[in-house]
C-alpha cells in the first residue's frame, strides 16, 4: 500500500531519523542517486505561488533521474470544475507520485484517498512537512544531535509552527512557540506534540513572552507574520507582532552559538532584521538548500528507490 506524507505525524520518530540520514547521504553523494528514479514521473501541482518548493522539487526529481510534470490549478481541469478526487484518479494512471501545494488540508486528504500513488503535502494552511524536514536537517548539521536541543519559533502559530512542533517532538527536541494572544498554534497540534514529546524526552512550550522563549535557545526561527491568503491583514498584524521580531536583542538572549533560521520568503525589517538574517548566526541559506536534499530523500523513500 502506498504511503502519503500529508503531515509530519504521518512519519514515526524512527522514519524521521531515517529520512534525515538518507538526506545527508544524498547531499554528500548525489551521484549515487542520479538514476534512482529513472523511468518514474512525479506530478507537481501548485495552487499557491512557490519559489523554493517548486524549484527544489523539480530539481530533486530531475537529479534522481525522474521526470517532473509541473502544473498550476489554472492549467488543469481543476480550474474548470473537475473534482480533486477525479484529478487524483486520473493522475494515478500517469505518474508515480503527486505533490500538491494548496490551501485547505482537506484537499490533500481527499486527493490522497482517491489517488493510488503517494501524495506529498508541499504546503497547506495546516502544515508544511517538507519544510520541517529541511529545518531538522539544518539543525542536525549545525548542532549535531537533535535530542535535547531547544528551538524557539517566534511569530504566528501557523503551518510551519505546527510542523516544527510535531517534528521537533519526534526528534526529542525542546520546542518553544511564542506568539501574540489570539495567534497561538492549534491546540490539537500542541496536544499531539506534547504527547509525542513525553515519549521522546522532548518538551513543548507555548507562550506569549518572546524574551522568555528565546532565553538559552539553541535555534531561533521565524516566518512571515501574514501567510499566503492573509495579505489583507499584513498592516494590522505588523502592529501586533512587533514584539516578536527576530532582532539582535533576541539573538543575544539565545546561547552564544545560537543558530537563526527562516523558511523564506523574508520580509526584512518586519519579522526579522537584515543584520540578523545576513549575520554570523544565520543558517538560512543552508536551510533553503536543504529543501532539495530532503525532498530527494522523501521521493526516494516513498518510491522504494533507496
The active-site residue, picked from 128, 237, 262, 281, is: 128
Q: What is the 3-state secondary structure (H, E, C) of 181-231?
A: CCCCCCHHHHHHHHHHHHHHCCEEEEECCHHHHHCCCCEEEECCCCCCCCH
Phi-psi region of 82 (alpha: psi -120 to 50; beta: other; left: phi over 0): beta
Find all residues with CB under 8 Å of 185, minimum gap 6, and list them. 157, 158, 161, 162, 165, 177, 179, 206
261, β-bridge pairs: 221
Distance CA 273, CA 134 (A): 22
The active-site residue, picked from 40, 101, 140, 293, is: 101
Find all residues with CB under 8 Å of 300, minimum gap 6, and list them. 22, 26, 33, 36, 37, 64, 306
Is residue 262 part of the annotated active site? The answer reads: no
The active-site residue, picked from 40, 131, 149, 214, is: 131
The active-site residue, picked from 223, 237, 293, 295, is: 223
Q: Residue 59, exposed/middle/buried by CB under 10 A (0-12, 13-18, 19+)?
A: middle
Is residue 291 part of the annotated active site? The answer reads: yes
The active-site residue, picked from 130, 132, 214, 263, is: 263
Cα angle vertex 23, ends 28, 137, to 5°? 105
Is residue 96 part of the annotated active site? The answer reads: no
The active-site residue, picked from 40, 192, 262, 291, is: 291
Is residue 107 part of the annotated active site? The answer reads: no
Long-range contacts of 12-15 (CB under 8 A, 24+ apart): 12/170, 13/170, 13/171, 13/172, 13/196, 13/199, 13/200
Active site residues: 101, 128, 131, 223, 263, 291
Amino acid at each position: 500500500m502506498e504511503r502519503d506524507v500529508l503531515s509530519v505525524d504521518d512519519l514515526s520518530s524512527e522514519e524521521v531519523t531515517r529520512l534525515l540520514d538518507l538526506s545527508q547521504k544524498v547531499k554528500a553523494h548525489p551521484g549515487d542517486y542520479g538514476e534512482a528514479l529513472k523511468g518514474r514521473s512525479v506530478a507537481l501541482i501548485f495552487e499557491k505561488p512557490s519559489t523554493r518548493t517548486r524549484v527544489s522539487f523539480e530539481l530533486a526529481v530531475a537529479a534522481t533521474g525522474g521526470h517532473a510534470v509541473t502544473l498550476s490549478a489554472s492549467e488543469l481541469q481543476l480550474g474548470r470544475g473537475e473534482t480533486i478526487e477525479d484529478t487524483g484518479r486520473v493522475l494515478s494512471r500517469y505518474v508515480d507520485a503527486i505533490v500538491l501545494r494548496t490551501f485547505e488540508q482537506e484537499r490533500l486528504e481527499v486527493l490522497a484517498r482517491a489517488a493510488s500513488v503517494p501524495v506529498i503535502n508541499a504546503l497547506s494552511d495546516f502544515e508544511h512537512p517538507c519544510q520541517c524536514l529541511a529545518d531538522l536537517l539544518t539543525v542536525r548539521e549545525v548542532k549535531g544531535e537533535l535530542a535535547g536541543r531547544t528551538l524557539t519559533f517566534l511569530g504566528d502559530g501557523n503551518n510551519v509552527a505546527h510542523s516544527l512542533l510535531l517534528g521537533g517532538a519526534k526528534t526529542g527536541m525542546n520546542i518553544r512557540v511564542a506568539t501574540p494572544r489570539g495567534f497561538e498554534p492549534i491546540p490539537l497540534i500542541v496536544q499531539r506534540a506534547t504527547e509525542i514529546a513525553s515519549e521522546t524526552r522532548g518538551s513543548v512550550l507555548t507562550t506569549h513572552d518572546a524574551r522568555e522563549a528565546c532565553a538559552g535557545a539553541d535555534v531561533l526561527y521565524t516566518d512571515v507574520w501574514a501567510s499566503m491568503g492573509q495579505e489583507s491583514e499584513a498592516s494590522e498584524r505588523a502592529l501586533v507582532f512587533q514584539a516578536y521580531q527576530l532582532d539582535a536583542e533576541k539573538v543575544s538572549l539565545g546561547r552564544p552559538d545560537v543558530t537563526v533560521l527562516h523558511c523564506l520568503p523574508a520580509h526584512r525589517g518586519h519579522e526579522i532584521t537584515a543584520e540578523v538574517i545576513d549575520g554570523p548566526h544565520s543558517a538560512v541559506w543552508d536551510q533553503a538548500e536543504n529543501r532539495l536534499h530532503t525532498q530527494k530523500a522523501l521521493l526516494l523513500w516513498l518510491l522504494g528507490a533507496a
